[in-house]
C-alpha cells in the first residue's frame, strides 16, 4: 500500500510539471519533461522489482497489433492519393528543430512505455489497494499531456470552440490509445507498445509527407482502432474458458452492427462522399424540416434543378437548407435560383448560383441533430 501511495505522490508531481509546460510555458522545450520522466522511472526501478514480460514474444500478438496499425496507416496514405499530401514533421523538424530534440521525443516515448509497464507491475503486487484506480487516472492525465507536448503545438484555448475542438480531435483519441496501451502493457509487456507508438505516433519523423485525411474521419478511426485491437486480442489471447455459442454469436453480432452503424455515420457526417448529413440549426424550414432534425443530401454535380426542390447551399460561409422558389438562366446558360425557407414570409435576399449549391436534400431524419445544435449554440 505504501508503494502505491509513493507512486501517486510522484505522479502528482509529474502532472504539475506537465501542466506547467503545456498551459503556462506553452513551449516545444522537452528537457524538463524528459528529466521528470527519467526521475520517475528511476524511482519506480528502486520501488518495484522488475519482472520480464512473459507473453511479449508471441508472433500472433505482433501480427495483430502491427498489422492493424499498418492497415490503418496504409489506408490513410492511399486516401492521400485522392486528397493530396502535406509536409510532415520529417521536413518541419529538419528545418526548425535540432536532432537532439528528435532524439528527446524518442527517448520520452521509450521512457513513458517503460514507466507504464512498471506501474502495472506495482498494481499486480498491490492488487487489493484501491488507490491504484486513483493512480491510474492521474497517469492517463499525464499520458495525454505528454502526447500533446509531443505534437509540438502550443496550447491556446481562446474560445469554447478551441477547447471542444481539442477535446474531440485530440483528447478522446489520446485517451483511447492510452487505455489500450495500458491493457497491452499489463497483459503482454512493453515491446508491443513500442511498435504501436512507432507506427501510429512517430512515423512522421521518417516519412516526409502526410496524407490530407478528413479530420473527422481520422479522429473516429484513431479512437476506434484501439478498441477493435483490444477485442481481437481478447478473442485470441483472452480467457480460454468456454463461452456459450449463443453468447459468442451475440457478441459478434453486436460488434458487427456497431461497426456498420459507425461506418455509415462516418460516411455521412464527414461530407466527403456522394451522400452527406448535416444538422439543421434554424427554424426557417419549420414544419417541413424542424430545428434539431438532420437532412441527408446528395452531392450536387451540376445537374438541372427545378422549382420546389430543397437544396443545401453555401452562403456567407454557412450551409443553408432552403427550397428553390424559382429558377432562371444566366447569360452563360447556367442555372441560378431564388430560394426561400418554408417558414419564412419572403424569399431570401440573395441569388444562389450553381457554384454555391452543395447538394440536393433526399431524406429528413427527425430530432437526431439536437446534440449537435445545442453544442454549436453553446460554442
Specify the pLDDT at position 103.
86
Give which of 147, 143, 153 is closest to 26, Cα–Cα.
Answer: 153
Specify the pLDDT at position 75.
93
Which residue is it, cell 414544419? 287
HSE value, Cβ hemisphere, 13 Å, CA-based, for 108: 26
Give which of 152, 146, 192 is closest to 40, Cα–Cα.
Answer: 146
Q: SS3 for 315?
A: strand
User: What's the pLDDT band for 140 if we cut at 50, 70, 90?
Assistant: very high
What mean pLDDT comes out for the span 119-139? Answer: 81
Helix, strand, coil percent content, the chain, rounded in steps of 5: 60, 15, 25
Secondary structure (DSSP) of 153-222: ------SHHHHHHHIIIIIHHHHHHHHHHHHHHHHH-SHHHHHHHHHHTSGGGT-SEEE---HHHHHHHH
Question: What whole-number distance in Å separates Cα of residue 193 and Cα of residue 59?
Answer: 14
User: What's the pLDDT band for 20 if we cut at 50, 70, 90?
Assistant: confident
- Give the 3-state DSSP-derived string for 244-280, with helices as H, strands as E and coil as C: CHHHHHHHHHHHHHHHHHHHHHHHHHCCCCCEEEEEC
Specify the pLDDT at position 323.
96
Helices (H) and strands (E) in the chain, counts: 12, 9
What mean pLDDT comes out for the span 326-354? Answer: 92
* 184-204 confidence digits (pLDDT tens): 998 898 999 999 999 999 988
Which residue is it, cell 523538424? 93
Question: What whole-number distance in Å separates Cα of residue 100 and Cα of residue 31?
Answer: 10
Specify the pLDDT at position 173.
94
Flag the least confident range among 83-92, 187-196, 285-294. Answer: 83-92
What mean pLDDT comes out for the span 95-113? Answer: 84
Question: What whole-number distance in Å separates Cα of residue 356 and Cα of residue 349?
Answer: 15
Question: What whole-number distance in Å separates Cα of residue 226 and Cα of residue 245?
Answer: 26
Average pLDDT, the chain: 86
pLDDT value at 247 more than 70: no
Instruction: Say which residues have a Cβ less than 8 Å from residue 327's Cβ, sequence separation at least 6.
Output: 305, 306, 307, 335, 336, 337, 338
Radius of gyration of the chain (CA): 26
Specify the pLDDT at position 97.
65
User: What's the pLDDT band for 70 if we cut at 50, 70, 90?
Assistant: very high
What proportion of the chain, given as a percentage, has pLDDT over 90?
49
Q: Measuring CA to CA, how many Å separate 302 from each of 50, 297, 305, 335, 355? A: 66, 14, 9, 9, 9
Question: What whole-number distance in Å separates Cα of residue 44 and Cα of residue 266?
Answer: 42
Give the β-pairing of 357-365 and 294-299.
antiparallel
Instruction: Say which residues have a Cβ less than 8 Å from residue 63's Cβ, sequence separation at least 6.
Output: none
User: What's the pLDDT band for 55 if we cut at 50, 70, 90?
Assistant: low
Amino acid at each position: 500500500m505504501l508503494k502505491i501511495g509513493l507512486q501517486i505522490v510522484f505522479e502528482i508531481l509529474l502532472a504539475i510539471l506537465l501542466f506547467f509546460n503545456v498551459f503556462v510555458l506553452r513551449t516545444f522545450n522537452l528537457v524538463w519533461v524528459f528529466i521528470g520522466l527519467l526521475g520517475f522511472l528511476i524511482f519506480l526501478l528502486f520501488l518495484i522489482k522488475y519482472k520480464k514480460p512473459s507473453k511479449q514474444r508471441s508472433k500472433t500478438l505482433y501480427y495483430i497489433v502491427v498489422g492493424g496499425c499498418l492497415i490503418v496507416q496504409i489506408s490513410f496514405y492511399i486516401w492521400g492519393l485522392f486528397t493530396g499530401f502535406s509536409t510532415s514533421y520529417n521536413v518541419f523538424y529538419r528545418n526548425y528543430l535540432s536532432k537532439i530534440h528528435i532524439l528527446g521525443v524518442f527517448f520520452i516515448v521509450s521512457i513513458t512505455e517503460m514507466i507504464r509497464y512498471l506501474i502495472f507491475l506495482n498494481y499486480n503486487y498491490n492488487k487489493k489497494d484501491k488507490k491504484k484506480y486513483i493512480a491510474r487516472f492521474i497517469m492517463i492525465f499525464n499520458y495525454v499531456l505528454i502526447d500533446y507536448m509531443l505534437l509540438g503545438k502550443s496550447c491556446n484555448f481562446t474560445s469554447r470552440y478551441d477547447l471542444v475542438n481539442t477535446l474531440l480531435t485530440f483528447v478522446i483519441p489520446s485517451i483511447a490509445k492510452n487505455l489500450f496501451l495500458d491493457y497491452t502493457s499489463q497483459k503482454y509487456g512493453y515491446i508491443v507498445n513500442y511498435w504501436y507508438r512507432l507506427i501510429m505516433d512517430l512515423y512522421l519523423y521518417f516519412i516526409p509527407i502526410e496524407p490530407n485525411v478528413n479530420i473527422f474521419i481520422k479522429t473516429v478511426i484513431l479512437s476506434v482502432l484501439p478498441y477493435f485491437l483490444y477485442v481481437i486480442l481478447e478473442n485470441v489471447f483472452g480467457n480460454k474458458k468456454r463461452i456459450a455459442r449463443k453468447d459468442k454469436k451475440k457478441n459478434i453480432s453486436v460488434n458487427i452492427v456497431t461497426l456498420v452503424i459507425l461506418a455509415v455515420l462516418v460516411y455521412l457526417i464527414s461530407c466527403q462522399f456522394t451522400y452527406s448529413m448535416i444538422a439543421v440549426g434554424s427554424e426557417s424550414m419549420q414544419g417541413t424540416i424542424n430545428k434539431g432534425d438532420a437532412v441527408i443530401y446528395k452531392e450536387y454535380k451540376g445537374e438541372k434543378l427545378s422549382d420546389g426542390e430543397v437544396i443545401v447551399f453555401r452562403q456567407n460561409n454557412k450551409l443553408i437548407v432552403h427550397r428553390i422558389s424559382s429558377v432562371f438562366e444566366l447569360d452563360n446558360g447556367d442555372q441560378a435560383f431564388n430560394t426561400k425557407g418554408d417558414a419564412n414570409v419572403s424569399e431570401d435576399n440573395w441569388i444562389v448560383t450553381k457554384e454555391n449549391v452543395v447538394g440536393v436534400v433526399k431524406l429528413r431524419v427527425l430530432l437526431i441533430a439536437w446534440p449537435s445544435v445545442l453544442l454549436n449554440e453553446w460554442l
